[in-house]
Structure 1
């Protein structure tokens, strides 16, 4: 029984960090599925942690976890994945939806969506989406915006997504992030 317990205790954290593909964190390149990113931050396929983990269990819109920045934490966990592995067609417009909770009326915090050339990390596209739009302090507010992609994106380019505190003094939480191809 002990070898099985040891194996489970070693494999469970690795599975949670690197391989979860449940319905709340799925990515796929099928022609019918236009979902590129979908997570409630209870699973992490494609997400990499920075030195100061931004995963929080203090507030969550659904599940147990959300991402948080602000109050001294400048960057959140980062999603990086090749576009060609996320979509069977080149996306022209991305729809970004998430739930945001701020602790102040306005915040400089942003959700950044970028597209990078592999190897060089040269930016092909960069957009910071302000996270205070219409939010009430202490309440979850839905974020919903469309981003038009430039014509020069390619399947080998890397889609990057992360939260940027931009000097935010109080915590900002993000949960239930979904990015789909709106084409």
Structure 2
């Protein structure tokens, strides 16, 4: 009887893995190294020991992992900006981006807060501007919530175009914390 139970569980597990793999392939989310790259992965711990004083956006009040997180305080319109050419971390120009991370909101009084991905095309074409609307995806307060957004990019971007990631705190409200931010590029 134990043998049959193990065999059924094993078969169910294999079907689940096959289904998940199929869904990921349908969504265009293959995990082959030449199809994806990591443009940004930050838990905000890397500043300790390197900068003194620490940048003002670092906070120890809340953290999803480690000791530090990225904090946007009341009355601040923009947070600090991550910036680099698209070609620095990728051997190709991405066609899709997956923006993900963790957000902590003490309450629903955050105003309009956006995690913005902008690609500056340096006058060659119109800049790409997409955002994750925090107040639309976070529904629980006083705890860390995982957020993500897929961003489709135009085909005419170049490796020298400048990728920027920043927080736009449009309307002043309660502080907002971000941690473990990740930006992946996909072919």
TM-score range, shorter chain: 0.7 to 0.9
Query: Which residue number in structure 2 is paired with residue 136 of structure 1?
Result: 140
- Report the Cα distance in structure 2 between the residues aligned to 1:123 and 1:41, rounded to whole angstroms: 31
Query: Which residue number in structure 2 is paired with residue 88 of structure 1?
Result: 91
1:1-183 correspondence to structure 2 within 5 Å: 31=34, 34-43=37-46, 53-105=56-108, 107=110, 108-118=112-122, 124-132=127-135, 133-183=137-187
User: Between Structure 1 and Structure 2, whose CA radius of gyration is higher?
Assistant: 2
Relative to structure 1, the CA distance from residue 122 to residue 42 in structure 2 (aligned partners, 3 Å threshold; closer, same or farther) is farther
Tell me the TM-score normalized by structure 2: 0.71
Which ranges in structure 1 are unaligned for 5 or more consecutive residues?
Answer: 1-29, 45-51
Higher relative contact order (CA 8 A, sep 6+): 2
- Report the Cα distance in structure 2 between the residues aligned to 1:82 and 1:90, rounded to whole angstroms: 10
Which ranges in structure 2 are unaligned for 5 or more consecutive residues?
Answer: 1-32, 48-54
Q: How many residues align?
A: 146
Tell me the TM-score normalized by structure 1: 0.72
- Report the Cα distance in structure 2 between the residues aligned to 1:62 and 1:163, rounded to whole angstroms: 20
